[in-house]
């Protein structure tokens, strides 16, 4: 009899004292006071049957009233003696007199067990605020407690995709149906695939994983599916990429021909008188000083590439200095800046940004007498130990300027450069001023057999010869210098072909990671290769395809950090 009476009491306490408006119109703000049964709900007064109270330093509030004001669902399980709460993605189970709660299946201790007062359940306010995303403010002057329901926490997106086919032959294009979504309706702004390829060229099972990020910066959990590739061969890797070309796409190892056995093409070559000033020696910087110094005027290419080997933070800064008594106008026509970072990645990025430079980004400045201008003012000059910086600039000066590259301590000022001395070369890398920095090649391909073009080997394609002048420092004699690898030289290669022709990139001198650009394909640069790096002699990348009778112009600049020479292979198909 007593058990039945207890059940009836609990049923009653959940039927009375419901909040005004219940869940139909959720409130924005609730204001209450300790020991005062009158509560303000969005400015309207209501009287609760039980006032908020303080027990053992814990503020206790009427459960049903607060929850239903904010649209939560409250229930009572008489048999289990449990109070249940559901709001958004949160489910809570409580038991009167027990200082524990089950929140989304997890048992948690709470400060202050739920209590019954006048048949009304009271629970700790702090517990509700933490678990149901309430903002609680206390105003000491008025002793008011202000409760607001905060927006629900942003949920991460959900990654999901399907293969059009789960089982495919080698060399067949794989179609992916991306079904990712965000439960909050945020835009998915980035997708990160692992193991995804356009096609696969060996039998086996391949795991493909997708992660997505929403506009709030939240990443999904990884979603993985397995694709089965059979023994059937529809196309090999080379054939597939020639028919579905993407510039920079890795081709792996090609066994169709031996590169060094291919005939070499003899292009028509023209050069201009553009100078390139190169600061790359000492490549690894160990102390403060001047890395490069020379005067220039007119159209010039300025190039620097250095590694901080000092063991402490350094500033590596390319400077333009007007030492004349009149203003000098300067146009920065083209630029590619990268770093600080890993040596090959920095060289690759600088080459890509230089080739992809939009002429709308050209900058005009006027240097006043004595003015010092930082060429890389838009990026952080601070270089951590072991990190590399790289920059390429095409400039046009209407007067004489001094180009200097300096290295100073982290806390040095620009005025400190006046006390720096020239650093010795490392006798391996390049420092100097070189003429003929633009090289144009024209190739007519009429044959039906693969041929090759050699770039930057010092024999068929000669290295530039110049001088390390350091002309601003008395007592430093000009020394002859050779530009091994033709760093800072742009190659514009015009190609015409009678047959449909694949253009393939082959590094010969060492590991390679750079960039190129087809001027006739909208002028968009691409990475070479477009992922990873290439090993010499055994790995290749596709540059593009030339249709019969078509003329295309390829622009290429040797990237710092990679090895030359390279070969361009022209493969009829």
Residue pLDDT, tens place only, 332-386:
999 999 999 999 999 999 999 999 999 999 999 999 999 999 998 766 678 999 9
Task: Kindly report, as residue ranges, where domains of CATH 3.30.457.10 are found in the chain.
Answer: 2-149
Residue 478's pLDDT band, with cuts at 50, 70 and 90, is low
> Exposed, middle or buried: residue 26 (CB in 10 Å: 0-12, 13-18, 19+)?
middle
pLDDT on residue 131: 87
Q: What is the pTM of this model?
A: 0.76
> Would you say residue 193 has pLDDT above 50?
yes
Between 116 and 416, where is the model more confident? Answer: 116
Q: How far, in Å, CA of 170 to CA of 231, rounded? A: 7
Half-sphere exposure (CA, 13 Å, Cβ side) for 284?
9
Q: How far, in Å, CA of 272 to CA of 439, rounded? A: 7
Between 191 and 20, where is the model more confident? Answer: 191
CA 91 → CA 104, 105, 117, 150, distances in Å? 5, 8, 24, 17
- Phi and psi torsions of 65, nearest 5°: -60, -50
Task: Kindly report, as residue ranges, where domains of CATH 2.60.120 are found in the chain.
Answer: 250-271+440-572
Q: How far, in Å, CA of 14 to CA of 31, rounded? A: 22
> Would you say residue 11 has pLDDT above 50?
no
The dotted CATH code for 161-235 is: 2.60.40.10
| Dmax (CA) of the chain | 112
pLDDT on residue 116: 86
Residue whose C-alpha is closest to residue 292's, from 398, 393, 430: 430
Whether domain 2-149 has CATH 3.40.50.11540? no
When pLDDT is averaged across residues 202-227 and rounded to a whole number, the result is 97
Average pLDDT, the chain: 90
Residue-wise burial string across 433-454, b where 16 or more C-beta atoms lie within 10 A, e elsewhere: bbebbbbbbebebeeeebbbbb
pLDDT on residue 195: 96
Residue 471's pLDDT band, with cuts at 50, 70 and 90, is very low
pLDDT on residue 92: 92
Fold exhibited by the domain 250-271+440-572: Jelly Rolls (2.60.120)
**571 and 495 in contact (C-beta within 8 Å)?**
no
554 C-beta neighbours (distance < 10 Å), count: 24
Task: Kindly report, as residue ranges, where domains of CATH 2.60.40.10 are found in the chain.
Answer: 161-235
């Amino acid at each position: 009899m007593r058990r039945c009476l207890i059940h009836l009491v609990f049923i009653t306490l959940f039927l009375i004292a419901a909040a005004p408006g219940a869940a139909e119109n959720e409130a924005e703000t609730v204001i209450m006071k300790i020991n005062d049964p009158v509560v303000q709900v969005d400015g309207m007064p209501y009287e609760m049957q039980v006032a908020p109270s303080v027990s053992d330093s814990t503020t206790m509030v009427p459960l049903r009233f607060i929850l239903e004001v904010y649209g939560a669902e409250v229930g009572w399980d008489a048999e289990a003696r449990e109070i249940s709460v559901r709001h958004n993605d949160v489910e809570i189970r409580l038991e009167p007199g027990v200082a524990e709660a089950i929140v989304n299946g997890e048992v948690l201790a709470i400060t202050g067990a739920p209590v019954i007062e006048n048949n009304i359940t009271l629970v700790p306010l702090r517990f509700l605020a933490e678990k149901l995303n309430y903002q609680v403010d206390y105003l000491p002057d008025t002793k008011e407690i202000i409760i607001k329901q905060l927006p629900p926490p942003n949920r991460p997106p959900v990654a999901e995709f399907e293969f059009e086919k789960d089982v495919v032959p080698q060399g067949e294009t794989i179609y992916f149906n991306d079904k990712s979504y965000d439960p909050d309706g945020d835009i998915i702004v980035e997708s990160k695939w692992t193991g995804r390829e356009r096609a696969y060229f060996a039998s086996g099972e391949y795991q493909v994983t997708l992660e997505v990020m929403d506009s709030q910066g939240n990443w999904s959990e990884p979603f993985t599916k397995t694709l089965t590739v059979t023994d059937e061969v529809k196309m090999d890797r080379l054939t597939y990429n020639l028919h579905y070309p993407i510039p920079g796409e890795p081709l792996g190892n090609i066994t169709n021909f031996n590169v060094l056995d291919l005939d070499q093409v003899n292009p028509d070559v023209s050069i201009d008188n553009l100078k390139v000033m190169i600061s790359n020696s000492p490549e690894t910087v160990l102390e403060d000083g001047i890395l490069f110094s020379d005067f220039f005027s007119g159209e010039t290419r300025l190039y620097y590439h250095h590694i901080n080997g000092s063991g402490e933070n350094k500033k590596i800064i390319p400077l333009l200095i007007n030492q004349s008594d009149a203003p000098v106008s300067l146009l920065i026509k083209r630029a590619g800046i990268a770093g600080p970072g890993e040596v090959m990645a920095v060289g690759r990025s600088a080459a890509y940004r230089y080739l992809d430079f939009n002429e709308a980004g050209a900058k005009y400045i006027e240097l006043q007498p004595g003015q010092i201008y930082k060429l890389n003012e838009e990026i952080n000059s601070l270089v951590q130990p072991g990190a590399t910086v790289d920059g390429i600039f095409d400039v046009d000066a209407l007067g004489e300027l001094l180009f200097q590259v300096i290295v100073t301590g982290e806390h040095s000022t620009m005025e400190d450069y006046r006390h720096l001395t020239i650093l010795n070369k490392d006798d391996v890398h390049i420092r100097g001023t070189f003429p003929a920095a633009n090289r144009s090649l024209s190739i007519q391909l009429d044959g039906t057999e693969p041929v090759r073009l050699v770039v930057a080997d010092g024999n068929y394609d000669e290295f530039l010869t110049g001088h390390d002048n350091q002309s601003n420092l008395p007592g430093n004699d000009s020394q002859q210098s050779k530009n091994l690898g033709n760093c800072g030289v742009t190659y514009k290669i015009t190609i015409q072909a009678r047959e449909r022709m694949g253009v393939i990139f082959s590094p010969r001198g060492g590991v390679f990671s750079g960039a190129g650009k087809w001027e006739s394909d909208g002028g968009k640069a691409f990475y070479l290769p477009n992922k990873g790096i290439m090993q010499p002699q055994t790995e290749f990348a596709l540059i593009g395809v030339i249709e019969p009778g078509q003329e295309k112009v390829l622009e290429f600049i040797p990237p710092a950090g990679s090895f030359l020479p390279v070969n361009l292979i022209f493969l009829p198909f």
